[in-house]
Protein backbone atom coordinates (compact mmCIF):
# COMPACT_ATOMS: atom_id res chain seq x y z
CA UNK A 1 0.00 0.00 0.00
CA UNK A 2 1.29 3.43 -0.82
CA UNK A 3 1.96 5.27 2.37
CA UNK A 4 1.99 8.98 2.86
CA UNK A 5 0.15 9.72 -0.37
CA UNK A 6 -0.84 13.32 -0.37
CA UNK A 7 -3.55 13.96 -2.89
CA UNK A 8 -3.84 17.52 -1.60
CA UNK A 9 -2.00 19.80 0.75
CA UNK A 10 -5.02 21.32 2.43
CA UNK A 11 -8.75 20.90 2.65
CA UNK A 12 -10.72 24.07 3.34
CA UNK A 13 -14.25 24.40 4.60
CA UNK A 14 -15.46 27.94 4.02
CA UNK A 15 -18.67 29.02 5.73
CA UNK A 16 -20.08 25.51 5.45
CA UNK A 17 -23.73 25.56 6.51
CA UNK A 18 -26.61 23.12 6.48
CA UNK A 19 -30.19 24.00 7.30
CA UNK A 20 -33.07 21.57 7.79
CA UNK A 21 -36.26 23.55 7.28
CA UNK A 22 -35.75 26.56 9.55
CA UNK A 23 -33.18 24.81 11.73
CA UNK A 24 -29.43 25.50 11.44
CA UNK A 25 -27.83 22.10 12.00
CA UNK A 26 -24.46 23.61 11.06
CA UNK A 27 -23.65 27.26 10.61
CA UNK A 28 -20.64 28.96 9.05
CA UNK A 29 -18.01 26.31 9.68
CA UNK A 30 -14.59 27.65 8.65
CA UNK A 31 -11.84 25.06 8.99
CA UNK A 32 -8.59 24.33 7.17
CA UNK A 33 -7.27 20.79 7.51
CA UNK A 34 -3.64 20.16 6.56
CA UNK A 35 -2.71 16.89 4.84
CA UNK A 36 -1.62 14.37 7.46
CA UNK A 37 -3.62 16.01 10.25
CA UNK A 38 -5.97 14.22 12.63
CA UNK A 39 -8.90 16.50 13.38
CA UNK A 40 -11.69 15.57 15.80
CA UNK A 41 -15.13 17.14 15.69
CA UNK A 42 -16.39 17.11 19.24
CA UNK A 43 -19.59 18.16 20.94
CA UNK A 44 -22.77 17.01 22.61
CA UNK A 45 -25.53 15.09 20.85
CA UNK A 46 -27.25 17.16 18.18
CA UNK A 47 -24.49 19.80 17.93
CA UNK A 48 -23.95 19.16 14.20
CA UNK A 49 -20.94 16.81 14.12
CA UNK A 50 -22.45 14.20 11.84
CA UNK A 51 -23.95 16.91 9.68
CA UNK A 52 -20.46 18.39 9.18
CA UNK A 53 -19.01 14.97 8.36
CA UNK A 54 -21.83 14.13 5.94
CA UNK A 55 -21.37 17.49 4.19
CA UNK A 56 -17.66 16.64 3.79
CA UNK A 57 -18.46 13.15 2.54
CA UNK A 58 -20.97 14.46 0.01
CA UNK A 59 -23.88 12.60 1.59
CA UNK A 60 -25.59 15.90 2.41
CA UNK A 61 -25.65 18.91 0.08
CA UNK A 62 -24.62 22.20 1.68
CA UNK A 63 -27.13 24.99 2.02
CA UNK A 64 -24.30 27.54 2.24
CA UNK A 65 -20.53 27.81 1.87
CA UNK A 66 -18.05 25.71 -0.06
CA UNK A 67 -15.41 22.99 0.36
CA UNK A 68 -12.03 23.11 -1.37
CA UNK A 69 -9.18 20.67 -1.88
CA UNK A 70 -6.41 23.13 -2.58
CA UNK A 71 -7.79 25.09 -5.56
CA UNK A 72 -10.38 22.49 -6.54
CA UNK A 73 -13.95 23.00 -5.36
CA UNK A 74 -15.32 19.63 -4.25
CA UNK A 75 -18.66 20.25 -2.51
CA UNK A 76 -20.37 20.02 -5.88
CA UNK A 77 -18.92 16.53 -6.55
CA UNK A 78 -20.85 13.33 -5.73
CA UNK A 79 -19.40 11.24 -2.84
CA UNK A 80 -17.69 8.67 -5.08
CA UNK A 81 -15.76 11.37 -6.90
CA UNK A 82 -14.32 12.86 -3.73
CA UNK A 83 -12.14 9.79 -3.07
CA UNK A 84 -12.74 9.76 0.69
CA UNK A 85 -12.84 6.67 2.89
CA UNK A 86 -15.58 6.31 5.47
CA UNK A 87 -15.88 4.34 8.70
CA UNK A 88 -19.11 4.43 10.67
CA UNK A 89 -20.19 3.05 14.03
CA UNK A 90 -22.34 0.29 12.48
CA UNK A 91 -19.53 -1.22 10.43
CA UNK A 92 -21.85 -1.72 7.42
CA UNK A 93 -20.02 -4.88 6.30
CA UNK A 94 -21.54 -7.30 3.80
CA UNK A 95 -22.60 -10.19 6.06
CA UNK A 96 -22.45 -12.89 3.37
CA UNK A 97 -18.90 -12.02 2.26
CA UNK A 98 -15.67 -13.06 3.94
CA UNK A 99 -13.39 -10.50 5.54
CA UNK A 100 -11.15 -10.73 2.50
CA UNK A 101 -14.04 -10.17 0.07
CA UNK A 102 -15.33 -7.23 2.12
CA UNK A 103 -11.92 -5.56 2.02
CA UNK A 104 -11.46 -6.28 -1.68
CA UNK A 105 -14.92 -5.04 -2.65
CA UNK A 106 -14.05 -1.41 -3.38
CA UNK A 107 -11.01 -2.42 -5.43
CA UNK A 108 -13.13 -4.87 -7.46
CA UNK A 109 -15.66 -2.11 -8.14
CA UNK A 110 -12.78 -0.08 -9.55
CA UNK A 111 -11.96 -2.98 -11.86
CA UNK A 112 -8.31 -3.06 -10.86
CA UNK A 113 -6.12 -5.95 -12.08
CA UNK A 114 -6.64 -9.16 -10.07
CA UNK A 115 -3.12 -9.42 -8.69
CA UNK A 116 -3.16 -5.79 -7.56
CA UNK A 117 -6.48 -6.40 -5.78
CA UNK A 118 -4.99 -9.46 -4.09
CA UNK A 119 -1.80 -7.67 -3.04
CA UNK A 120 -3.52 -4.58 -1.67
CA UNK A 121 -6.24 -6.57 0.11
CA UNK A 122 -3.71 -8.80 1.90
CA UNK A 123 -1.69 -5.78 2.90
CA UNK A 124 -4.70 -3.95 4.35
CA UNK A 125 -5.69 -7.10 6.27
CA UNK A 126 -2.18 -7.34 7.65
CA UNK A 127 -2.22 -3.67 8.66
CA UNK A 128 -5.30 -4.18 10.83
CA UNK A 129 -3.88 -7.48 12.09
CA UNK A 130 -6.64 -9.75 10.85
CA UNK A 131 -4.54 -12.24 8.87
CA UNK A 132 -5.88 -15.18 10.86
CA UNK A 133 -9.49 -14.17 10.28
CA UNK A 134 -9.41 -13.28 6.60
CA UNK A 135 -11.56 -16.25 5.55
CA UNK A 136 -14.27 -15.70 8.17
CA UNK A 137 -17.64 -14.03 7.77
CA UNK A 138 -18.27 -10.78 9.71
CA UNK A 139 -20.77 -12.57 11.98
CA UNK A 140 -17.93 -14.83 13.20
CA UNK A 141 -15.90 -11.85 14.42
CA UNK A 142 -16.01 -9.73 17.57
CA UNK A 143 -17.17 -6.11 17.39
CA UNK A 144 -13.60 -4.84 17.48
CA UNK A 145 -12.53 -7.20 14.71
CA UNK A 146 -15.50 -6.11 12.59
CA UNK A 147 -14.52 -2.50 13.08
CA UNK A 148 -10.99 -3.40 11.93
CA UNK A 149 -12.49 -4.85 8.75
CA UNK A 150 -14.39 -1.61 8.21
CA UNK A 151 -11.16 0.34 8.64
CA UNK A 152 -9.25 -1.97 6.29
CA UNK A 153 -12.01 -1.59 3.71
CA UNK A 154 -11.66 2.20 3.89
CA UNK A 155 -7.85 2.43 3.85
CA UNK A 156 -7.34 -0.18 1.10
CA UNK A 157 -8.63 2.42 -1.35
CA UNK A 158 -5.81 4.78 -0.30
CA UNK A 159 -8.23 7.62 0.30
CA UNK A 160 -7.00 11.20 0.44
CA UNK A 161 -9.15 11.70 3.53
CA UNK A 162 -10.66 9.24 6.00
CA UNK A 163 -13.92 10.21 7.69
CA UNK A 164 -14.87 8.40 10.88
CA UNK A 165 -18.21 8.85 12.63
CA UNK A 166 -18.11 7.54 16.21
CA UNK A 167 -16.35 4.37 15.01
CA UNK A 168 -15.78 3.04 18.52
CA UNK A 169 -19.12 3.74 20.14
CA UNK A 170 -20.43 0.17 19.77
CA UNK A 171 -17.40 -1.38 21.47
CA UNK A 172 -16.88 -2.13 25.13
CA UNK A 173 -14.53 0.03 27.19
CA UNK A 174 -11.45 -2.20 26.86
CA UNK A 175 -11.80 -2.64 23.10
CA UNK A 176 -12.39 1.08 22.68
CA UNK A 177 -9.02 1.78 24.25
CA UNK A 178 -7.29 -0.83 22.07
CA UNK A 179 -8.89 0.41 18.88
CA UNK A 180 -8.05 3.99 19.76
CA UNK A 181 -4.37 3.10 19.73
CA UNK A 182 -4.90 1.12 16.53
CA UNK A 183 -6.55 4.05 14.76
CA UNK A 184 -3.79 6.43 15.77
CA UNK A 185 -1.16 3.90 14.64
CA UNK A 186 -2.81 3.48 11.24
CA UNK A 187 -3.22 7.23 10.85
CA UNK A 188 0.50 7.70 11.44
CA UNK A 189 1.89 4.74 9.56
CA UNK A 190 -0.24 5.37 6.47
CA UNK A 191 0.17 9.14 6.55
CA UNK A 192 -3.62 9.51 6.47
CA UNK A 193 -5.60 12.69 6.88
CA UNK A 194 -8.41 11.92 9.28
CA UNK A 195 -11.58 13.69 10.37
CA UNK A 196 -13.08 11.94 13.36
CA UNK A 197 -16.46 12.60 14.97
CA UNK A 198 -16.99 11.82 18.64
CA UNK A 199 -18.86 13.05 21.69
CA UNK A 200 -16.19 11.55 23.95
CA UNK A 201 -13.76 14.29 24.99
CA UNK A 202 -11.21 11.82 26.29
CA UNK A 203 -11.16 9.99 22.96
CA UNK A 204 -10.79 13.26 21.08
CA UNK A 205 -8.04 14.54 23.38
CA UNK A 206 -6.03 11.35 23.04
CA UNK A 207 -6.38 10.93 19.27
CA UNK A 208 -6.46 14.28 17.57
CA UNK A 209 -3.88 16.87 16.62
CA UNK A 210 -6.64 19.47 16.70
CA UNK A 211 -10.13 19.57 18.12
CA UNK A 212 -13.14 21.43 16.80
CA UNK A 213 -15.77 21.88 19.50
CA UNK A 214 -19.28 22.46 18.20
CA UNK A 215 -22.40 23.50 20.00
CA UNK A 216 -25.81 24.10 18.47
CA UNK A 217 -24.30 24.00 14.99
CA UNK A 218 -21.61 26.60 15.69
CA UNK A 219 -17.91 26.34 16.31
CA UNK A 220 -17.02 27.20 19.88
CA UNK A 221 -13.27 26.66 19.68
CA UNK A 222 -10.64 25.12 17.42
CA UNK A 223 -7.22 24.21 18.77
CA UNK A 224 -4.78 21.54 19.91
CA UNK A 225 -5.92 19.32 22.80
CA UNK A 226 -3.64 20.96 25.35
CA UNK A 227 -5.03 24.41 24.59
CA UNK A 228 -8.67 23.36 24.89
CA UNK A 229 -7.86 21.47 28.04
CA UNK A 230 -6.14 24.32 29.86
CA UNK A 231 -7.77 27.34 28.23
CA UNK A 232 -11.33 26.68 27.08
CA UNK A 233 -12.73 29.68 25.20
CA UNK A 234 -16.03 29.76 27.07
CA UNK A 235 -17.86 27.92 29.80
CA UNK A 236 -19.59 25.60 27.37
CA UNK A 237 -16.25 24.30 26.14
CA UNK A 238 -15.04 24.15 29.75
CA UNK A 239 -18.07 22.06 30.64
CA UNK A 240 -17.29 19.70 27.78
CA UNK A 241 -13.58 19.53 28.68
CA UNK A 242 -14.21 18.17 32.16
CA UNK A 243 -14.61 21.36 34.24
CA UNK A 244 -17.37 19.70 36.24
CA UNK A 245 -17.62 22.50 38.76
CA UNK A 246 -19.37 25.46 37.15
CA UNK A 247 -20.64 28.06 39.57
CA UNK A 248 -22.70 31.07 38.70
CA UNK A 249 -21.18 34.03 40.61
CA UNK A 250 -20.82 37.80 40.58
CA UNK A 251 -17.59 39.78 40.15
CA UNK A 252 -16.50 41.76 43.20
CA UNK A 253 -13.22 43.10 41.90
CA UNK A 254 -11.00 42.57 38.89
CA UNK A 255 -7.33 43.52 38.74
CA UNK A 256 -5.21 42.60 35.74
CA UNK A 257 -5.22 38.82 35.58
CA UNK A 258 -7.01 38.16 38.84
CA UNK A 259 -10.70 38.35 39.57
CA UNK A 260 -12.56 38.03 42.88
CA UNK A 261 -16.02 36.49 42.65
CA UNK A 262 -18.74 35.87 45.19
CA UNK A 263 -22.17 34.31 45.68
CA UNK A 264 -23.98 34.20 49.02
CA UNK A 265 -20.78 34.34 51.04
CA UNK A 266 -18.95 31.80 48.83
CA UNK A 267 -15.86 33.73 47.74
CA UNK A 268 -13.17 32.75 45.27
CA UNK A 269 -10.26 34.26 43.38
CA UNK A 270 -9.60 33.12 39.84
CA UNK A 271 -8.14 33.73 36.42
CA UNK A 272 -10.44 35.65 34.03
CA UNK A 273 -11.00 34.30 30.52
CA UNK A 274 -12.48 37.25 28.66
CA UNK A 275 -13.87 40.54 29.97
CA UNK A 276 -15.26 40.38 33.49
CA UNK A 277 -16.32 43.78 34.87
CA UNK A 278 -17.09 44.30 38.57
CA UNK A 279 -20.75 43.55 39.22
CA UNK A 280 -21.14 41.29 36.20
CA UNK A 281 -22.48 37.75 36.27
CA UNK A 282 -19.81 35.15 35.57
CA UNK A 283 -19.23 31.41 35.61
CA UNK A 284 -16.36 30.14 37.74
CA UNK A 285 -15.04 26.79 36.51
CA UNK A 286 -12.67 24.28 38.03
CA UNK A 287 -11.93 20.61 37.36
CA UNK A 288 -12.49 18.02 40.09
CA UNK A 289 -8.79 17.07 39.94
CA UNK A 290 -7.82 20.68 40.71
CA UNK A 291 -9.72 20.77 43.99
CA UNK A 292 -7.35 19.94 46.87
CA UNK A 293 -8.41 18.39 50.17
CA UNK A 294 -6.85 19.53 53.46
CA UNK A 295 -3.72 20.77 51.81
CA UNK A 296 -1.26 22.12 54.36
CA UNK A 297 -0.74 25.86 54.09
CA UNK A 298 -3.58 26.44 51.60
CA UNK A 299 -5.05 29.85 52.30
CA UNK A 300 -6.31 31.13 48.94
CA UNK A 301 -9.67 29.74 47.91
CA UNK A 302 -9.79 27.65 51.07
CA UNK A 303 -13.38 26.61 51.73
CA UNK A 304 -14.71 24.50 54.60
CA UNK A 305 -16.98 21.71 53.36
CA UNK A 306 -18.47 18.37 54.29
CA UNK A 307 -17.91 15.26 52.16
CA UNK A 308 -21.25 13.86 51.07
CA UNK A 309 -20.71 11.18 48.42
CA UNK A 310 -17.63 9.07 47.69
CA UNK A 311 -17.02 6.78 44.73
CA UNK A 312 -14.01 4.53 44.40
CA UNK A 313 -12.24 4.92 41.08
CA UNK A 314 -9.03 2.93 41.13
CA UNK A 315 -6.29 4.70 43.03
CA UNK A 316 -8.35 7.86 43.41
CA UNK A 317 -11.68 8.75 44.89
CA UNK A 318 -14.27 10.83 43.13
CA UNK A 319 -16.21 12.72 45.78
CA UNK A 320 -18.82 15.39 46.21
CA UNK A 321 -18.63 17.87 49.05
CA UNK A 322 -21.02 20.63 50.12
CA UNK A 323 -19.83 23.95 51.50
CA UNK A 324 -21.43 25.74 54.44
CA UNK A 325 -23.31 27.96 51.98
CA UNK A 326 -24.71 24.93 50.13
CA UNK A 327 -22.42 24.89 47.07
CA UNK A 328 -21.75 21.41 45.72
CA UNK A 329 -18.11 20.71 44.79
CA UNK A 330 -16.94 17.74 42.68
CA UNK A 331 -13.40 16.64 43.49
CA UNK A 332 -10.90 13.86 42.92
CA UNK A 333 -8.43 12.93 45.60
CA UNK A 334 -6.11 10.17 46.71
CA UNK A 335 -6.96 10.92 50.35
CA UNK A 336 -9.20 8.37 52.02
CA UNK A 337 -12.14 10.69 52.70
CA UNK A 338 -15.53 9.34 53.80
CA UNK A 339 -19.06 10.74 53.85
CA UNK A 340 -19.53 13.06 56.83
CA UNK A 341 -15.85 14.14 57.00
CA UNK A 342 -15.33 17.84 57.51
CA UNK A 343 -12.53 19.06 55.27
CA UNK A 344 -11.00 22.21 53.87
CA UNK A 345 -11.07 22.39 50.11
CA UNK A 346 -8.72 24.66 48.21
CA UNK A 347 -8.18 25.64 44.60
CA UNK A 348 -5.22 27.21 42.87
CA UNK A 349 -6.49 30.59 41.53
CA UNK A 350 -4.76 29.88 38.22
CA UNK A 351 -6.78 26.70 37.79
CA UNK A 352 -10.04 28.45 38.58
CA UNK A 353 -11.20 30.01 35.34
CA UNK A 354 -13.75 32.79 35.35
CA UNK A 355 -15.84 33.19 32.19
CA UNK A 356 -18.28 35.95 31.29
CA UNK A 357 -21.78 34.57 31.90
CA UNK A 358 -22.72 35.15 28.29
CA UNK A 359 -19.41 34.07 26.81
CA UNK A 360 -20.90 31.55 24.40
CA UNK A 361 -20.83 32.59 20.75
CA UNK A 362 -23.97 30.51 20.11
CA UNK A 363 -27.34 31.45 21.53
CA UNK A 364 -28.04 29.06 24.34
CA UNK A 365 -29.48 28.77 27.79
CA UNK A 366 -28.59 31.83 29.86
CA UNK A 367 -25.98 31.13 32.46
CA UNK A 368 -28.19 31.60 35.45
CA UNK A 369 -28.51 30.46 39.01
CA UNK A 370 -29.57 27.02 37.83
CA UNK A 371 -25.89 26.42 37.19
CA UNK A 372 -25.30 26.15 40.87
CA UNK A 373 -27.03 22.83 40.61
CA UNK A 374 -25.99 20.67 37.68
CA UNK A 375 -25.25 22.35 34.37
CA UNK A 376 -25.91 20.00 31.51
CA UNK A 377 -24.84 20.78 27.99
CA UNK A 378 -27.60 20.96 25.51
CA UNK A 379 -26.90 20.65 21.83
P1 LIG B 1 -25.19 12.82 17.59
O2 LIG B 1 -23.94 12.80 18.40
O3 LIG B 1 -26.41 12.59 18.43
O4 LIG B 1 -25.13 11.98 16.35
P5 LIG B 1 -24.61 15.20 16.05
O6 LIG B 1 -23.78 16.21 16.75
O7 LIG B 1 -23.94 14.33 15.08
O8 LIG B 1 -25.40 14.35 17.11
P9 LIG B 1 -26.33 15.95 13.88
O10 LIG B 1 -26.78 14.56 13.57
O11 LIG B 1 -25.34 16.56 12.98
O12 LIG B 1 -25.79 16.01 15.37
O13 LIG B 1 -27.62 16.85 13.97
C14 LIG B 1 -27.56 18.27 14.16
C15 LIG B 1 -28.97 18.82 14.22
O16 LIG B 1 -29.60 18.71 12.96
C17 LIG B 1 -29.86 18.11 15.22
O18 LIG B 1 -30.67 19.07 15.84
C19 LIG B 1 -30.67 17.17 14.35
O20 LIG B 1 -31.92 16.94 14.93
C21 LIG B 1 -30.79 17.96 13.05
N22 LIG B 1 -30.88 17.06 11.88
C23 LIG B 1 -29.93 16.18 11.48
N24 LIG B 1 -30.33 15.53 10.37
C25 LIG B 1 -31.57 15.99 10.07
C26 LIG B 1 -32.52 15.71 9.03
N27 LIG B 1 -32.26 14.81 8.07
N28 LIG B 1 -33.68 16.39 9.05
C29 LIG B 1 -33.94 17.30 9.99
N30 LIG B 1 -33.09 17.62 11.00
C31 LIG B 1 -31.93 16.98 11.04
Asked whether the predicted pLDDT for residue 361 surpasses 60, the reply is no
pLDDT band at 168; cut points 50, 70, 90? confident
Q: Most confidently modeled of 36-40, 129-133, 187-191, 311-315?
A: 36-40
pLDDT band at 190; cut points 50, 70, 90? confident
For the chain, the structural domain boundaries read 4-230, 235-356
pLDDT band at 234; cut points 50, 70, 90? very high
242-297, pLDDT tens digit by residue?
Answer: 999 999 999 999 988 899 999 988 999 999 998 899 999 999 999 999 999 988 88
User: Looking at ligand 1, which residue's alpha carbon is closest to its atom 9?
Assistant: 48
pLDDT at position 6 is 53
What residues does ligand 1 touch, defined as CB less than 6 Å away?
20, 25, 43, 45-51, 199
Asked whether the predicted pLDDT for residue 376 surpasses 50, the reply is no
Alpha helices by DSSP H, listed for the chain, are: 49-57, 99-109, 114-127, 143-155, 173-190, 201-207, 225-230, 235-240
pLDDT band at 88; cut points 50, 70, 90? confident
pLDDT band at 92; cut points 50, 70, 90? confident
Mutational pocket test of ligand 1: of 16, 48, 197, 218, the residue with most ligand atoms within 8 Å of the beta carbon: 48
Measure 19 CA to ligand 1 centroid, in angstroms: 10
Measure 186 CA to ligand 1 centroid, in angstroms: 29
Measured from the CA of 60, which atom of ligand 1 is nearest? 27
7-64, pLDDT tens digit by residue?
Answer: 789 999 999 999 999 999 999 999 999 999 999 999 988 999 999 999 999 999 999 9
pLDDT at position 213 is 96
Measure 215 CA to ligand 1 centroid, in angstroms: 12
Fold for domain 4-230?
Answer: Rossmann fold (3.40.50)
209, exposed or middle or buried, with CB in 10 Å at 0-12, 13-18, 19+? middle
* Mean pLDDT value of segment 82-105: 88
User: Looking at ligand 1, which residue's alpha carbon is closest to its atom 12?
Assistant: 46
Mutational pocket test of ligand 1: of 21, 26, 41, 47, the residue with most ligand atoms within 8 Å of the beta carbon: 47
User: Looking at ligand 1, which residue's alpha carbon is closest to its atom 3?
Assistant: 45
Reported pTM: 0.85
Asked whether the predicted pLDDT for residue 377 surpasses 60, the reply is no
Asked whether the predicted pLDDT for residue 379 surpasses 70, the reply is no
Measured CA to CA, the distance from residue 35 to residue 11 in angstroms comes to 8
Measure 139 CA to ligand 1 centroid, in angstroms: 30
Asked whether the predicted pLDDT for residue 370 surpasses 70, the reply is no
36, exposed or middle or buried, with CB in 10 Å at 0-12, 13-18, 19+? middle
Mutational pocket test of ligand 1: of 44, 50, 217, the residue with most ligand atoms within 8 Å of the beta carbon: 50
Quote the Cα angle for 18-23-25, to 5°: 40
Measure 240 CA to ligand 1 centroid, in angstroms: 19
Measure 47 CA to ligand 1 centroid, in angstroms: 7
Measure 179 CA to ligand 1 centroid, in angstroms: 26
Measured from the CA of 48, which atom of ligand 1 is nearest? 11
pLDDT at position 258 is 94
Measure 198 CA to ligand 1 centroid, in angstroms: 13
Residue of 235, 234, 236, 213 whose CA lies nearest to 224: 213
Q: How far is CA 90 from the centre of its chain?
A: 19
Q: Report the chain's mean pLDDT, rounded to a whole number.
A: 88
Measure 62 CA to ligand 1 centroid, in angstroms: 14
Q: For the domain covering 235-356, report its CATH number.
A: 2.40.50.140
Amino acid sequence: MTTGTKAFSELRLEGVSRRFGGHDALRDLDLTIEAGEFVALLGPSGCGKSTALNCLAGLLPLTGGSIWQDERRIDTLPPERRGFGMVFQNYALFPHMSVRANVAFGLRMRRLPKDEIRRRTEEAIRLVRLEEHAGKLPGQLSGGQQQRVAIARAVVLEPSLVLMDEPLSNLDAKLRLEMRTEIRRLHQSLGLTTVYVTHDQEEALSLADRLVVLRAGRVQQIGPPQELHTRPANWHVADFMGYRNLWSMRVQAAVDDTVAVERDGFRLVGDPVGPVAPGSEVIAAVRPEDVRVDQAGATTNAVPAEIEVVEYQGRELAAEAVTATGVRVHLRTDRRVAPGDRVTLSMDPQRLLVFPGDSAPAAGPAAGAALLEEPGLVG
